Amino acid sequence: MANEKKGFVQAITPQSEDFSRWYLDTIQKADLMDYSPVRGCIVFKPDGYELWERIQAGLDRRFKETGHRNAYFPLLIPESFFQKEKEHVEGFNPELPWVTEAAGEKLEERLAIRPTSETMIGHMYSKWIQSYRDLPVLINQWANVFRWEKRTLPFLRTSEFLWQEGHTAHATEEEARVETMQMLDIYADFAETEMAMPVIKGQKTPSERFAGAVDTYSIEAMMKDGRALQSATSHFLGQNFAKGFDIKFLDKDNQLKYVYTTSWGASTRLIGALIMTHGDDRGLALPPTLAPVQVIMIPVGPPKARDQVMAKFDPLFDDLKAAGVRVKTDLREETPGWKFNEWEMRGVPLRLELGPRDVQNNQCVLARRDTGEKISVSLDGAVARVRELLQEIQENMYAQAVAFRDQHLHVELETLADLEQHIEAKAAAGELAGWALLGWCGDDACEAKIKEVTKFTSRNIPFDPPVRKTTCAVCGQSAQHTVWFARAY
């Protein structure tokens, strides 16, 4: 770690020069992860894992407040289970790792490491659900899952990742659809409130649907390179898995009926989303609500004045801690400038400096990570001011992200040719292409054409588009949908 620490003061590749390089530099310098000896699998180091713990806490609280409970289902899924839902097996089979031997013997049936748990959970629900009185079943699972990936990118696309998967069963289609939307709203609320990351809610096109779903909904966020990142999905599964796994209940009218199911998930991808929403050329920038360290306290000034400084520094630390602020001190021997740089790279929202002159003036200096602003505040009101500032930073980071996104949403493009021209012009100007709102006739071929020509894929059909498009950008026929298209992670 000593070697890596020295690395912190070296430059991070600027975003405008090479965004991918910037991303990898940033996560390495913030010490969030490491590569592992198993292809496609990463190690979540403590600073990275703590972001996940805080994401988990924020989501878990919301799931429980809406009546869901956690459970845990087996990691391994018998091969035969995948055959029971046709689209599901086609969607996931190419990505599965298989356990074929255990305890020195060949297994009679191969077991897949779960890519998701609809099949296992469907099987269990068919045992648990008999009557309308057993419904709804509202269960969530926090788990590791595998999808064997060829090209991986830390947090965003790894063979093993951590996630939560909610699985619910309902007596009626209406109730299941309400659940699907409720969970999408919960993801959006979490993203916007805690991650300070604005998202667009909408429905996926059929080609982007979850394998086995009737309808898939997503929240999509814009990254600093103008690309889209699908940040969470919520699926209305209809009766597809109920039929595949024979999940039936005796309804009040004494009829045996299939249940309606939903599933919804968010993963450690959100760590990547957080980094690419707020990071800048100085490295990571974390919103106070999720930041493991909200305030870093650094004493400044000559060593001979240190005792005098510490006499104010230590009580201030205690007061901040007592007020519930996640505060940390850096008392190492390195220069203040080196430390400022390091904690900026690590994304700490607020730096508190205290030197001998500050002590004389009964004040300290607060430096904001989001704006770079330096503010002198009286030591008497410092705790209250820190708390206010953390709130202000949270709000400002959200506002900044909204402004950045809105600046890169393009609703004025009408045709595929417009989009091509737009992408070329932006590239020539060294600007970001952003997202394009286009009309779509509903034909898979037109959607595929856009991807083929521009690499822009459909993100979602927003519930509330800023403009309704009337003609398909590709074929010129009447538009059935108004769709966001973008390069995506």
Residues that bind a copy of itself (CB under 8 A): 1-3, 34, 36-38, 41-46, 49-50, 52-53, 69-78, 81, 94-104, 110-111, 113, 120, 123-124, 127-131, 133-134, 139, 143-144, 146, 148, 150, 160, 162
Of the two residues 134 and 392, which places its CB atom closer to a copy of itself in the complex?
134
Q: Identify the burial level of 340 via C-beta atoms within 10 angstroms of its C-beta, where 0-12 means exposed, 13-18 middle and 19 or more buried.
A: middle
- Which one, 100 or 255, has the nearer CB to a copy of itself? 100
Between 150 and 304, whose beta carbon lies closer to a copy of itself?
150
For a copy of itself, which is the closer residue by CB, 49 or 258? 49
CB of 113 to a copy of itself, least distance (A): 7
Least CB distance from residue 153 to a copy of itself, whole Å? 16
Cβ 112 to a copy of itself, closest distance in Å? 10
Cα separation values, 422 from 365, 425, 426, 430, 454, Å: 45, 5, 6, 12, 10
In terms of CB distance, is 29 or 227 closer to a copy of itself? 29
Nearest to 356 by CA among 310, 295, 296: 310
Which two structure tokens, joined as six digits, stand for 376? 């002198």
Provide the minimum distance between the beta carbon of 134 and a copy of itself in the complex, in angstroms, as a whole number.
4
Length of the chain: 489
N-to-C CA span, the chain: 30
CB of 125 to a copy of itself, least distance (A): 10
Dihedral-angle region of residue 455 (phi above 0 means left; psi in -120 to 50 means alpha; beta otherwise): left
Residue 106 vs 304, nearer CB to a copy of itself: 106
Which of 23/155 has CB closer to a copy of itself?
Answer: 155
Helix residue ranges per DSSP H, 218-364: 240-245, 269-278, 306-322, 336-345, 356-360
The contacts of residue 304 (CB under 8 Å, 6+ apart) are none
In the complex, minimum distance from the CB of residue 261 to a copy of itself, in angstroms, rounded to a whole number: 16
User: Nearest distance from residue 69's CB to a copy of itself, in Å?
Assistant: 4
Shortest separation between residue 84's beta carbon and a copy of itself, angstroms:
12
Q: How far is the CB of 331 from a copy of itself (least distance, A)?
A: 14
Nearer to a copy of itself, 62 or 201 (CB): 62
- Inter-axis angle of helices 306-322 and 382-407, to 10 degrees? 70
Nearest alpha-carbon partner for 249 in 175, 167, 170, 177: 170
- Rank residues 60 and 215 by Cβ distance to a copy of itself and give the closer one: 60
Q: Which of residues 109 and 452 has its CB atom nearest to a copy of itself in the complex? A: 109
- b vs e for 175-211, b when ≥16 Cβ sit within 10 Å of the residue's Cβ? bbbebbbebbbbbbebbbebbbbbbbbbbbbeebbbb
In the block, residue with structure tokens 């650094």: 298
Least distance between a copy of itself and beta carbon 405 (Å): 31
Report the C-alpha gap between 479 and 470 in whole angstroms. 5
Quote the CA–CA distance of 214 and 152 in Å, as a whole number: 29
Q: How many CB atoms lie within 10 A of CB 256?
A: 9
The pair of three-digit structure tokens given for residue 412, joined into one six-digit string:
């004025």
238: left (phi over 0), alpha (psi -120 to 50) or beta: left
Beta carbon nearer to a copy of itself, 93 or 471: 93
Q: How many CA atoms lie within 13 A of 259 on its CB side?
A: 31
Nearer to a copy of itself by Cβ, of 110 and 321: the residue is 110
Neighbour tally for 133: CB within 10 Å: 10
Give me the torsion for CA of 283, 288, 289, 293, rounded to 10°: 80
CB of 251 to a copy of itself, least distance (A): 13
CA separation for the pair 370, 377 (Å, rounded)? 18
CB of 27 to a copy of itself, least distance (A): 14
